[in-house]
Amino acid sequence: MKKVKINNFEISNSNPFCLIAGPCLIESRDHTMKMAELIYEICQETRINFIFKSSFDKANRTSVQSTRGVGLFKALEIFNEIKSNINCPILTDIHNETQCNEISGSDIVDIIQIPAFLCRQTDLLIAAGKSKKIINVKKGQFLSPHDMPNIIEKIHTTNNQQILLTERGTSFGYNNLVSDFRSIEIMKGFEYPVIFDATHSVQEPGGLGMKSGGKREYIPVLSKAAIAVGVAGIFIETHDDPDNAPSDGPNMLNVKDLKSLILKLIELDNVSKS
């Protein structure tokens, strides 16, 4: 079983789970700093390892009128300030090779995330692999877990074996996703750490017409189910006012509910990995 080292901890299917969390989208410097500090304090209190996540660009929004983000260079300034203040690893998603190349020359971003819709894009995977950073690949909602070795092999061609695999639900009819927890066990068989994305597993893509819907009330139950199976990490987008968030509000957990959920997950994690 492979382990991925980051900062002063290791990510592994057999280690205590880590938390990947943050608001879906960088809305402003002040809001992003506030959220990073809130989540960091919760993780310090609960003693779990924390990776901050937020997006500088949402390139696959439902509508062309939807908010995209602050852009890469402004985001790097904000991420750098977060690292300086609380010294946590940073994860963000990229959508093209140019963005990947810009990030690869910086120590600010620790994990490059490949979005689900782009998980088969060969040039993007190779560019990410060449960065020598940790690569988190979200399994596309249109893929079987058995397809993931082909994606892993593309990154392997760059001699980069720092890979995380994320389960985020599978398309189930129109505007709906379902989580098949067999997928976690199947992907664990490929030896790399497996992350469960509890946020996008409850998304309803395009379900509100001009934007996606979601059922955030199911985040806790799916998170607990994934922890019971045994995963390396849980991915939860969180916000202090999700009902008014500019992106993925319906499927983001309110940050006020995060600590109580983490405490329950720790109990289950101890049992599943004992």
d(CA 222, CA 172): 16
Show the low-confidence residues of the chain (pLDDT under 70): 61
pLDDT of residue 64: 81
pLDDT of residue 65: 73
Detail the DSSP E strand segments found in 12-64: 18-22, 50-53
pLDDT of residue 127: 97
- The CATH code of the domain at 4-272 is 3.20.20.70
pTM (two decimals)? 0.96
pLDDT of residue 61: 66
As beta bridge partners, residue 233 has: 18, 195
Which of 81, 86, 7 lies closest to 43 in space, CA to CA?
Answer: 86
Q: How many CB atoms lie within 10 A of CB 199?
A: 27
What is the average pLDDT score of the chain? 95
pLDDT of residue 243: 96
Q: What is the pLDDT of residues 119-158, one digit of tens each?
A: 999 999 999 999 999 999 999 999 999 999 999 999 999 9
pLDDT of residue 47: 98
Every domain of the chain and the residues it spans? 4-272
The proportion of the chain whose per-residue pLDDT surpasses 90, expressed as a percent, equals: 89
